[in-house]
């Protein structure tokens, strides 16, 4: 169940204390795998370094860090009723097998086992109730961090999976309102353009909250209390994912955290975006350069659309040849709209064409364009990918060379397709369309100047392919 957003509450002293109180007196331990390294301080994990990803371009660059700012942390703990549970200031004792233990004044023994496998951190708490009474424990997970720069076109901010539905709440909305979710199971966390930190409590009946407190954002989940009988042991497990938003990685984590594979925002045309991104990665595995992979993918897509493009171009030629007869009909039946429509339909039928047939390739390219746009934005591998003078195909071309090439090739393609044909009638539909089309290269050049260079590279190569294709089709038609 989702509770409607509430006005962001005024931060309580307890909220501020949780966020601002750094456990500086607690010894720091390092936990690591072949993929991540992190600091462990009592209940809190921070400074999660992603060992396979550089923060900036360059081999000597520092690694990307999650929860690396001051007072950013992930806290996994227990709320106890009837006794005292460890808190952020608790000093644990080292035990065998890389475990930690702590005994409270009631004689209740807490044992924490932390294991790291790839991008997954599993925290298992065992509680031995050595008292003569029932004690209840409610496991919780809390992630606290500062805001991130929003990325146009990619869902970032808080991410939750409640009752098998993935939801996003962006940074701006969290700053204004708090959100509360009730769910049987799921996960809660934060997502950036390329990375995400998610906590999944292995316990039913959870309440999840996302909100802002002071200059931080908080995503937490608390499960229903579980009673531990006297002389019995309760086991509580929470799994954390701290890593890239990469489909292959998330699909692997899906077996441990159900639903995490759906946290990548592919947009409306996800059914195109996912296979396009898969094809890009396959091509890159052969050519070892994402710029070359984009060029090859563009050529493959244009080859698949060759029959439609040829049909569109032939239809465009027929439309130009029809203009004298079309004008005669329009003039002859100017006062009889019904007869005019009938004669025009007969003319189109005779020439086996229609005004819309020339638009089909463009209509097909629109979803492919937006799907590739999304694929490039969410692709972690595209980040810092080099191609010629471009250092990051996921960012804009810093010298605007590609947008200018794209505009020039777009103009040339239009020129080859329409030639020098001009209508003598300024009100003619073809003439009006032609005047509008002349502005498109300029408009697209301005629009594409700030788009990902990989997307502009795709459109430029597509234009060049279209120029070659137009030349071939023209030559074949002229030889007939």
Are 370 and 269 contacting, i.e. CB atoms less than 8 angstroms apart?
yes
Domains and their CATH numbers in the chain: 2-265 (2.70.98.90), 271-479 (no CATH)
134 contact partners, CB below 8 Å, separation of at least 6: 82, 227, 228, 229, 230
Decide: helix, strand or coil at residue 473: helix
How far is residue 145's CA from residue 19's CA, in Å, rounded to a whole number? 9
Give the pLDDT score at 424.
44
- Which DSSP category does 390 fall into? B
Backbone φ, ψ for residue 254 (5° rounding): -60, -30
- For 268-277, what is each residue's pLDDT tens digit? 888 888 899 9
Question: 195 burial class (0-12, 13-18, 19+ CB within 10 angstroms)?
Answer: buried
**What distance in Å separates the CA atoms of residue 279 and residue 294, rounded to the nearest whole number?**
9
Per-residue pLDDT of the chain (480 residues; tens, 9 = 90+): 445 444 545 555 556 566 665 556 788 889 999 999 999 998 999 999 999 998 876 666 789 999 988 889 999 999 999 899 999 889 999 877 778 999 999 999 999 999 999 999 999 999 999 999 999 999 999 999 988 765 667 888 999 999 889 999 988 888 888 899 999 889 999 999 899 999 999 998 999 999 988 888 999 999 999 999 999 999 999 999 999 999 999 999 999 999 999 999 888 888 888 899 999 999 999 999 999 999 999 999 888 877 777 777 777 666 766 777 777 777 777 777 777 778 777 777 776 666 655 566 666 777 887 888 888 888 888 888 889 998 888 888 889 999 999 889 988 877 776 654 444 444 455 555 556 667 778 888 888 888 888 889 988 998 898 888 878 877 776 665
Tens digits of residue pLDDT in 375-390: 888 888 888 888 999 8
146 phi/psi in degrees, rounded to 5: -85, 170
What does pTM read for this prediction?
0.81
Contact in structure between 145 and 72 (CB atoms under 8 Å): yes
Neighbours of 188 (CB within 10 A): 26
Residue of 221, 137, 237, 235 whose CA lies nearest to 186? 221
For 416-454, write each residue's pLDDT tens digit.
Answer: 766 544 444 444 555 555 566 677 788 888 888 888 888
């Amino acid at each position: 169940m989702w509770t409607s957003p509430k006005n962001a509450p005024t931060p309580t002293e307890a909220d501020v204390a949780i966020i601002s109180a750094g456990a500086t007196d607690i010894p720091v331990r390092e936990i690591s795998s072949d993929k991540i390294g992190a600091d462990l301080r009592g209940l809190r994990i921070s400074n999660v370094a992603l060992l396979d990803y550089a923060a900036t371009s360059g081999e000597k660059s520092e690694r990307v860090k999650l929860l690396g700012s001051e007072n950013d942390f992930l806290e996994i703990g227990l709320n106890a009723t009837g006794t005292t549970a460890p808190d952020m200031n608790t000093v644990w004792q080292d035990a065998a097998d890389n475990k930690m233990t702590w005994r409270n004044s009631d004689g209740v023994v807490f044992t924490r086992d932390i294991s790291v496998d790839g991008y997954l951190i599993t925290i298992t708490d065992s509680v031995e109730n050595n008292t003569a009474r029932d004690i209840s424990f409610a496991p919780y997970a809390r992630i606290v961090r500062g805001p991130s720069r929003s990325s146009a076109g990619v869902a970032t901010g808080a991410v939750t999976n409640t009752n098998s539905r993935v939801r996003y709440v962006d940074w701006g909305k969290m700053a204004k309102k708090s959100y509360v979710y009730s769910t049987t199971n799921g996960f809660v966390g934060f997502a950036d353009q390329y990375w995400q930190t998610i906590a999944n409590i292995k316990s039913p009946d959870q309440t999840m909250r996302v909100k802002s407190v002071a200059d931080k954002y908080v995503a937490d989940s608390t499960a229903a209390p579980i009673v531990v009988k006297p002389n019995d042991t309760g086991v509580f497990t929470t799994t954390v994912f701290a890593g890239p938003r990469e489909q292959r990685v998330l699909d692997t984590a899906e077996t441990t955290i159900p639903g995490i594979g759906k946290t990548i925002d592919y947009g409306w045309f996800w059914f195109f975006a996912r296979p396009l991104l898969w094809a890009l990665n396959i091509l890159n595995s052969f050519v070892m350069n994402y710029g070359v992979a984009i060029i090859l993918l563009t050529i493959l897509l244009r080859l698949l659309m060759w029959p439609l493009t040829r049909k569109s171009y032939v239809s465009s030629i027929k439309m130009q040849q029809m203009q004298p007869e079309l004008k005669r009909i329009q003039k002859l039946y100017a006062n009889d709209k019904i007869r005019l429509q009938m004669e025009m339909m007969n003319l189109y039928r005779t020439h086996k064409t229609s005004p819309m047939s020339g638009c089909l390739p463009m209509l097909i390219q629109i979803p492919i364009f937006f799907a590739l746009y999304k694929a490039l934005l969410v692709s972690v591998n595209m980040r810092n990918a080099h191609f010629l003078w471009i250092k990051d195909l996921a960012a804009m071309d810093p010298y605007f060379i590609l947008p200018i090439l794209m505009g020039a090739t777009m103009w040339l393609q239009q020129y080859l397709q329409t030639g020098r044909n001009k209508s003598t009638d300024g009100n003619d539909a073809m003439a009006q369309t032609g005047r509008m089309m002349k502005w498109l290269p300029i408009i697209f050049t301005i629009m594409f100047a700030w788009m990902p260079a990989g997307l502009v590279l795709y459109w430029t190569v597509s234009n060049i392919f279209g120029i070659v294709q137009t030349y071939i089709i023209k030559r074949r038609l002229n030889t007939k």
